[in-house]
Amino acid sequence: MSSIYRILCLSHDPAITADAEYSRPEPAIAAIGSGIDGHADCDLLIGRYSYPLIEVGCPPNTGAQRTGQHRCYPHSVTEWVDVAWLRILAAVYRIGDEQTAMLAVESSLNHSALRHWSRERLRRLRDELGIDANEPADQSGEAS
Ligand SMILES: [Zn+2]
Ligand SMILES: [Zn+2]
């Protein structure tokens, strides 16, 4: 099963994919490190597609264009997570608050990979993940 790798820009809402396709992750990581035209200040991730999206990598925060732009926390290698985990985490965010979600992350087997995933990043990736990650529906009934 062959995969292709595409760069995802999460500075758009919802996220968009850059035009270039790569057959291996390394050139995509290198491209992010050296800066991508039109996305110099963007939050960029790498999607591994075997159509559909199957895995997402958070690249290192190194490289001239990336220094000081820690969207998650500083790390020196690309950390990958299966989209199944992202869907689970999105579901946790939907039913709980940020603290509940972080508890779930810390107790999961995949907590080191999930640390990159804020509610906002997941929300922006909703179309790629095929989830409805909008805020929970208005739970009205409260008197105003
Ligand atoms: Zn961008
Ligand atoms: Zn990260």
Question: Rounded to the nearest whole angstrom, what is the distance from the C-alpha of residue 40 to the centroid of ligand 1?
Answer: 7
* Residue pair 4/21 in contact by the 8 Å Cβ criterion: yes
Q: Which residues pair with 55 in a beta bridge?
A: 48, 82
Sign, Cα dihedral of 26, 62, 70, 42: negative
Q: Which residues pair with 93 in a beta bridge?
A: none
**pTM of the prediction?**
0.82
Segments making up each domain of the chain, as ranges: 4-129
Give yes or no for residue 134 having a pLDDT over 70: no
pLDDT of residue 123: 92
* Cα(74)–Cα(40) distance, integer angstroms: 18
Lowest average pLDDT, out of 50-59, 74-83, 135-144, goes to 135-144
Give the confidence band of 133 by pLDDT, cuts at 50, 70, 90: low
Question: Rounded to the nearest whole angstrom, what is the distance from the C-alpha of residue 136 to the centroid of ligand 2?
Answer: 26
Task: Give ion ligand 1 contacts, CB < 5 A.
Answer: 9, 11, 39, 42
* Residue pair 33/44 in contact by the 8 Å Cβ criterion: no
Convert the pLDDT of each residue in 27-71 to its tens digit. Answer: 999 998 888 888 888 889 999 999 899 999 999 875 555 554 557
Convert the pLDDT of each residue in 97-119 to its tens digit. Answer: 778 877 877 777 777 778 888 88
Question: Rounded to the nearest whole angstrom, what is the distance from the C-alpha of residue 1 to the centroid of ligand 1?
Answer: 29
Give yes or no for residue 144 having a pLDDT over 50: no
